[in-house]
Structure 1
Amino acid sequence: MDNSDHLHGSIVVNIFRCSNLLERIGRKLASEVGLTSVHQWFILSALSNGDLSLKQLGKNTLVTKQNMTGMIERLKQGQFVTTYEAHDDRRMTLVSLTEKGKQALTHLDRFGITNNEASFEHIKLDELTSFNRCLQQLIENMNKE
């Protein structure tokens, strides 16, 4: 095993560790507004820029269609989202934030910013920018497989 293999392995382990911490923090914040999972928060965030189809939501959040359907149903039951048929293609289901969903997202964003400030406190902007590009490339590479 050479140094790059060791570094790659260390990065993967640290990403998993970070993911576990983010999940724990996110689950606590999500439960404060009545969401049952961090994935539901991801869906609300994806809808913050406008209505999306189930297919687009799955692609944006990397969630399978089967799981997406169940999550949307639970969000509908909680009155966070609503669904409707696309006007130009009735086979396509579109998802929209409700007022309750928008309020939940506003609450989550406000508390998320506070947590993010503490998490990124000693990291410079250029380091964060580079790190974000690396994560995006890693996701793209892994998504090809």
Structure 2
Amino acid sequence: MVNVKTNITLDFLRISNLLNRYGAKMVSEVGLNSIQQWVILRTIIEREDISIGELKEEMLVTKQNMTGMINRLQQSNLVTLFQDSEDKRRTRVKITEEGIGVYEQLKSLRNEFNDQTYHIYNDQEVLVLSDLLNRLVEHLKEK
């Protein structure tokens, strides 16, 4: 069983490298600099607006890294920053119309990629895989 677990970990590393390669190609096609910018845009769209601190927690990066990524997105007019109405010390982030447009382009590329990638699984297998991976992510975040 030790070898199986080691192989799974190594497979995750290979998958990560492959996904980074494909993801980098997709984001460059729409003018983004990194996959992290894509994840940030998606998170903001899902939450409508979010604080930089909440984004930092979601992305598992330092506040300094998050601030730099957000500033680059703001300079590209993809997000806007504003002060939290309840806590003036907190800065919130909202996506702009231009940011939504970039995200929609990425969504199309992502959907094509997902169709090509996951066609080897049936719907039930995709749901099981999603559940297993989410559980592993949550477990690793606790450590």
3-state SS in 1 of match to 2:88:
coil
Deviation sequence 1:18-57 (CA, Å, 0-9, x none): 1111111111111112110000000000011200001111
- Letter matched to residue 110 of structure 1: S
Deviation sequence 1:52-98 (CA, Å, 0-9, x none): 00111112222221210110011111111110100111100000101
1:38 is aligned to 2:35? yes
Unpaired runs of 5+ residues, structure 1, are none
1:72 is aligned to 2:70? yes
Considering only aligned residues, what root-mean-square deviation do their CA atoms show, in Å?
Answer: 0.9
1:2-81 paired onto structure 2 within 5 Å: 3=1, 5-49=2-46, 50-81=48-79
Unpaired runs of 5+ residues, structure 2, are none
Distance in 1 between the 2:131 and 2:3 partners? Answer: 21
Distance in 2 between the 1:125 and 1:70 partners? Answer: 39
Would the aligned equivalents of 1:46 and 1:61 in 2 still touch at CA under 8 Å?
A: no
Residue-pair matches, total? 142
Deviation sequence 1:110-139 (CA, Å, 0-9, x none): 111001000001101111111111111111
Among 119, 122, 137, the alignment partner of 1:121 is 119
Distance in 1 between the 2:30 and 2:80 partners? Answer: 17
Query: Runs (4+) of structure 1 moved beyond 4 Å?
Result: none
1:135 is aligned to 2:114? no
1:84-103 paired onto structure 2 within 5 Å: 84-103=82-101
